[in-house]
Amino acid sequence: MPLVTLKDVLQPALANGTAIGGLVTLGWEDMRAYVAAAEAVGCPVILQAGPGCREHTPLPVLGVMFRHLAEMASVPVVAHLDHGYTYDDCSAALDAGFTSLMFDGSRKPLAQNIAETRRIADMAHAAGISCEGEIGFVGYDQGEASAGTDPKEAAVFALETGVDAMAISAGNVHLQQDQSGGLDEDRIAAIQAVTDVPLVIHGGSGVPAEQRRRLAQTTNICKYNIGTELRMAFGAALRASVNSDPDRFDRVSILKDTEGSVQSAAETVLRAISTP
């Protein structure tokens, strides 16, 4: 089926008490595995191109890849720009056929973040696609510290930007390799009390799977970004494939060996959050 927008999948999720997986893509093999996982589970999937992915593969190429996968898929697929840092980043993704733009102004003062996000949202909506913004900085494991989302600021941000989804900082961090952390449910409740915009959790790999499932059912969290745990599955499968035969050199056959493991890991993620 054709690509759909972020709003197309998040609004039903909000109504049904489910969440959609925003799965971080780095190459053709994981993209295919993610769509196959969504088809196996019977749920939509959001294919996300973050800065690392875009540095390796140009946006126009990614747009064609995402569109091809969507057209062949039996479930809704969103082509999502993750962490666009400038207007030009987002404009280029729009031109490349993406159906959702995430502008990250979370490091900027509130007024500047609102103004710049509003400009992106207006551009997206004029083109008939969706926009995600971020309020409250989500940090990195063993790196930059997070700045938790202020519920009052979140209310203003949601109202004045007109975003279709709002990424928040509530104990989540990027690049966490285990699930020893957890989300601040009091902060999430306070944010949800002042806005009905679907909420997004970046760094979802570090959130305990049970908490991801429960909050998908009971809160306005409608999208979890999942990257690290899927990259770990890919890395383990790749090492096993390479080490299984030191004389192998064909990259296509080696990379194909990763798809089953990545699909299985993605199915586990998607099944837990997509069930009401």
What tens digit of pLDDT does each residue of 216-230 get? Answer: 999 999 999 999 999
Q: Does residue 213 surpass a pLDDT of 90?
A: yes
Each residue's pLDDT tens digit, 101-156: 999 999 999 999 999 999 999 999 999 999 999 999 887 766 676 679 999 999 99
Residue 240 has pLDDT above 70, yes or no: yes
Burial of 6 (0-12, 13-18, 19+ CB in 10 A): buried
Among 85-99, 169-183, 242-256, the range of highest mean pLDDT: 85-99
pLDDT tens digits, 144-191: 766 799 999 999 999 999 999 999 999 787 766 777 778 999 999 999
pLDDT of res. 276: 84
Domain ranges of the chain: 6-274
Residue 198 has pLDDT above 80, yes or no: yes
In the chain, % of residues over pLDDT 70: 97
Question: Active-site positions?
Answer: 82
Q: Note the CATH architecture for domain 6-274.
A: Alpha-Beta Barrel (3.20)
